[in-house]
Structure 1
Amino acid sequence: MLNFTRICHNMLSIKGYSSKMFFSDVFLFNIPNEEEHRQIKFYRRSLRDSSNPLELPEELFLRRYRVNKEVFVYLHTQLHLPNGARCTFIPPILQLATTLQLLGGGSYQWQVGVDFVAPMSQSTVHYVTTSVIKEMESAFCKKWIRFKISNVTKQFFYAKYRIPSVIGCIDGTHIMMLRPQQNEHMFFNRKGKHSINAMIICNETLEIMSVNAKYGGCAHDSFVWQQSKERAMLETEYDKGMRNFWLLGDSGYKLENYLLTPYRVSEENSPEHEFNKTHSKARSIVERSIGVWKSRWRIVLEERKCRYTPQKLATIIYVTAALHNICCHYRVALPERITENTEERWNNIPITQNAESQTATSIRDRIRDGLLGLN
């Protein structure tokens, strides 16, 4: 058998054949013995030492890491990534690049590791990405995911849809996962798959103001909302006397004084039917926000089916939501939309328990009449 190390040396010496090109071609070879495995680790490390993701063309950079270079530099300056222990030989810039590539591509860790910009073993990819994701959660989630009542949002929805005092839109989306080892029944959804049911609240700019990834796929949208701190906040503000603010939700939610839902029964061309059409158009913003979020950070796409524990998947959901908001703030070009078999429709079964309050019904009727000029 030809000596693999000698082949490496000869090919690297060929004029016009770069080390990066060489590595991407030969890394998938089976390593015959321990010595040659050690040589590959040496070449892999030398390639990393000379790599700089920021040297990639802007278009390729955006496609690979899902952010532009401005956002990448911002993330890099805000994170305090380790330089010691096992990560001594992985520069922080490559740690960040590897993590973004995993979140944006949703690939297996070993597939990320054979990338010619940041080549590393699967175990190293796992260690690096776990560390960086935890750091991202601490640095970005509280800062970039904030639920608030904004007059700007109210003005937008009234100007475009003639619905007053809307502070955002709410919906649930399922993030698929492999069968968990513990409490499997909590993650078994109505489609017979395992997932986390994430509650998303967004505003008119597609910014995710709130995300709740605490509950498994067996939980209904309405249950997640009932247990959320956002609902508790709005209920407290309402009890204090604050009025004229509500979220837009679909028929999977109960009509409340601060949550506006469509009429469950409406005849064709009736005032209720016209209200429902306008309500649906306005509420579609949250579906678009979820679509952009999943298209940019493909690790949360249904087809990817994350191979992580529920706890780590929840962290990934929060981190990618924060990264989504950062991209919105810096106006990063929208990703190509990916059409997936969305779960929102089958999960939004109209609830029948708990009769709607008379106050909430009156509020919706007044909005309906104002929308159609009936008052």
Structure 2
Amino acid sequence: MLQNHNIFRMALFFILNEERRARKIQRSRLRDYANPFELPEQEFFHNYRMNKPMALYLCRELEGALAPRQRHGLPVHIKVLVAIKFMAGGSYQREIGQDHNLCVAQRTASKYIGQVVAAINRSLKPKWISFPGTERERRDVAAAFQEIYGLPDLLGTIDCTHVSIFPPPRPRGLQFINRKGKHTLNVQLIADVNCRLLHVNAQYPGRVHDQFIFNHSVVKNELRRLYDLRIGSYYLLGDSGYGLEPWLMTPVLNAAPGSAEERYTAWHCQVRNIIERTNGYLKGSLRCLGLDRSLHYSPEKSCRLIYACCTIYNIMKHFRVEMDEPLEEPVQQHRPEPVPQAALYQAALNKRNQLIFTYFN
């Protein structure tokens, strides 16, 4: 009886292995006959959420990292399209692989999504997401804001957004539960006047306060350095969840109707809408980050995927890819953390008052 059972198991294993081998050959043949770049432009965009020039740019830039190491390895363009389709569509990996132009198994899709994400973060992220580090770059960003919104020295708008992730095991998982009871990463974004991302920090759990993330960011260190060395008078705009600092201007709460403070706050809200729209475009175009999605990965892998998505978002902006906005996220009002140094707070208050007196009286 035992011998018959073993024979049955071996026969079943052989049959399943042959079926797997046959599917692999079939997928390979389908890929050989299909060329995604021969699709009409509109169909290509519908399938992969980007235009052909952007896809060709990604394939060219990532070829060194993604070129097949073996004769039967998948070509670079298949790996890139699988990864971007997953990021932009937010579907499951099995559904991505069932695209007749790609034809890859779920395990293969998972493998190459990881490879493409790593290649994007290594090769493209430093080129496409960078906070202005030279005086010329700072002047260019500030001049673009001033041309449209009238005030000088503004380097960007800042806010945080939550991206849902699969619940990590306890007790560690508790720190990822945000104010709404969901497991998330709290992602800091800074955008310029054209809704282009200048900085992304996706390393913190959902329970962490926005101000804490900013306090420990390289951007605050850079702005503090410029302030201490008296290089310009640069600042960011943030909502009332942040504390007022010389390099971070916040709205005036409960400003008197018709006052200069109310006009300043109205201007502040208008300009700060840039970061809200940026977040909307990001989650609407890279739908794996969307409100109705959850990244089924560890926090570390989710963090890497968020960085790659933000890089792709900036590249989409460059190639003028049409973007979608999701439903607006509900505005969360946070109690600002106190600024520890009274002297800095007074300097920030003086700076804000000077802006109000000069431009809104």
TM-score normalised by length of structure 1: 0.86
Matched, 1:351 2:340: no
Paired residue secondary structure (2:204): coil
Paired residue secondary structure (1:175): strand
C-alpha distance in 2 between matches for 1:322 and 1:352: 30
**For 1:368, which of 339, 342, 356 is the aligned residue?**
356
Q: CA deviation at 1:294?
A: 1.3
Aligned length: 337
Matched, 1:143 2:127: yes
Identity level (%): 31
- Aligned residue identity for 1:168: G
| Cα pair 1:64 1:104 within 8 Å, conserved | no
Paired residue secondary structure (1:357): helix
- Aligned residue identity for 2:145: F
Match of 1:95 in 2: 79
- Aligned residue identity for 2:49: R
Match of 2:196 in 1: 207
Q: Once superposed, what is the RMSD of the aligned Cα atoms?
A: 1.8
C-alpha distance in 1 between matches for 2:226 and 2:100: 53
Matched, 1:152 2:140: yes
Match of 1:113 in 2: 97
Match of 1:194 in 2: 183
C-alpha distance in 2 between matches for 1:36 and 1:331: 44
Match of 1:244 in 2: 233
C-alpha distance in 1 between matches for 2:42 and 2:139: 36
| Cα pair 2:176 2:185 within 8 Å, conserved | yes
C-alpha distance in 2 between matches for 1:121 and 1:255: 52
**For 1:300, which of 269, 289, 296 is the aligned residue?**
289
- Aligned residue identity for 2:50: V
C-alpha distance in 2 between matches for 1:196 and 1:145: 19
| Cα pair 2:242 2:337 within 8 Å, conserved | no
Gaps of 5+ in 1: 1-31
Q: CA deviation at 1:59?
A: 1.2
TM-score normalised by length of structure 2: 0.89
Equivalence map 1:320-339=2 (5 Å): 320-332=309-321, 334-339=322-327
C-alpha distance in 2 between matches for 1:137 and 1:255: 33
Q: CA deviation at 1:162?
A: 2.4
Matched, 1:84 2:72: no
Gaps of 5+ in 2: 1-14
Match of 1:266 in 2: 255
Match of 2:164 in 1: 176
Q: CA deviation at 1:295?
A: 1.2
Matched, 1:49 2:38: no
